[in-house]
Amino acid sequence: MLSLKKAHEVFLRVLLFPVTRSRGQRPNASEVLTQHLLQRSLPHWTSFCVKYSAVRNDQFGLSNFNWEVRGTNYHILRTGCFPFIKYHCSKAPWQDLKMEDCFFTALKVINFGIPTLLYGLGSWFFARITETVPTSCGPVTVYFLNQEDEGARF
Ligand SMILES: *[C@@H]1O[C@H](CO)[C@@H](O)[C@H](O)[C@H]1NC(C)=O
């Protein structure tokens, strides 16, 4: 018979899933970003989510920035929408994005993150398409809101 204690433990584990997974080694979010772009062989654009609990949030506070992978520059839009961090990446030449970065970050602060929270909880139900990205700390799952057209231009 499944003991009450065991059932309670399982219940807690499901409830606290994002927290309990956070022990152990986690790759940097930036590593997942790079590995995803490489795995997709540097697409024109891509948009994906990764769970906060699966990574070390080393890009905290960055909203709009340049990211170079093997000589290819991307403009990244990064939004936290709990329980996910959402990335939108598009191939573009390096550009000073400091102004934009401040603007998006300010917007997030003004909004108290509430719309992004709702958006994140919404994504939870739609993020059905997943892919596994290899990292130095093992595979990490990334989520997509819809099937991306390989090689589509944005
Ligand atoms: C994550 O990045 C930091 C520097 O920002 C580095 O010291 C650390 O080793 C990295 N961790 C992993 C798992 O790659």
For residue 150, being part of any structural domain is answered with no
pLDDT score recorded for residue 142: 94
Residue with the two structure tokens 């499901």: 14
For residue 80, being part of any structural domain is answered with yes
pLDDT score recorded for residue 20: 45
Residue nearest atom 4 of ligand 1, based on CA coordinates: 58
For residue 8, being part of any structural domain is answered with no
Confidence of residue 109 (pLDDT cuts 50, 70, 90): confident
Query: What span, in angstroms and rounded, lies between the C-alpha atoms of 144 and 136?
Result: 22
Query: Encoding tokens for residue 143?
Result: 């989520």
Mean per-residue pLDDT of the chain: 82
By CB neighbour count within 10 A (0-12 exposed, 13-18 middle, 19+ buried), where does 119 fall? middle
- Cα of 32 vs centre of ligand 1, distance in Å, is 12
For residue 126, being part of any structural domain is answered with yes
By CB neighbour count within 10 A (0-12 exposed, 13-18 middle, 19+ buried), where does 108 fall? middle
Q: What is the pLDDT of residues 110-153, one digit of tens each?
A: 776 666 666 666 666 666 789 999 999 999 999 987 666 655 55
Query: What span, in angstroms and rounded, lies between the C-alpha atoms of 32 and 99?
Result: 25
Q: What is the pLDDT of residues 14-68, one digit of tens each?
A: 555 544 444 578 999 999 999 999 999 999 999 999 999 999 999 988 999 999 9
Give the pLDDT mean for 75-90. 90
Residue nearest atom 7 of ligand 1, based on CA coordinates: 28
For residue 152, being part of any structural domain is answered with no
Residues having CB closer than 6 A to ligand 1 are 27-28, 31, 58, 136-137
Region of residue 124 (left: phi > 0; alpha: psi -120 to 50; beta: else): alpha
Nearest CA to 45 out of 110, 10, 86, 89 is that of 89
Q: How many domains does the chain have?
A: 1
Q: Please give, one letter per residue, the 3-state secondary structure of 14-56.
A: HHCHHHHCCCCCCCEHHHHHHHHHHHCCCCCEEEEEEEHHHCE
The pTM of this model reads: 0.76
For residue 129, being part of any structural domain is answered with yes
Nearest CA to 119 out of 154, 92, 151, 145 is that of 145
Of 17 and 75, more confident: 75
- Cα of 138 vs centre of ligand 1, distance in Å, is 14
C-beta separation of 126 from 18 below 8 A:
no
Confidence of residue 103 (pLDDT cuts 50, 70, 90): confident
For residue 2, being part of any structural domain is answered with no
Nearest CA to 70 out of 43, 20, 34 is that of 34
List the domain range (segments joined by +) for residue 94. Answer: 23-144
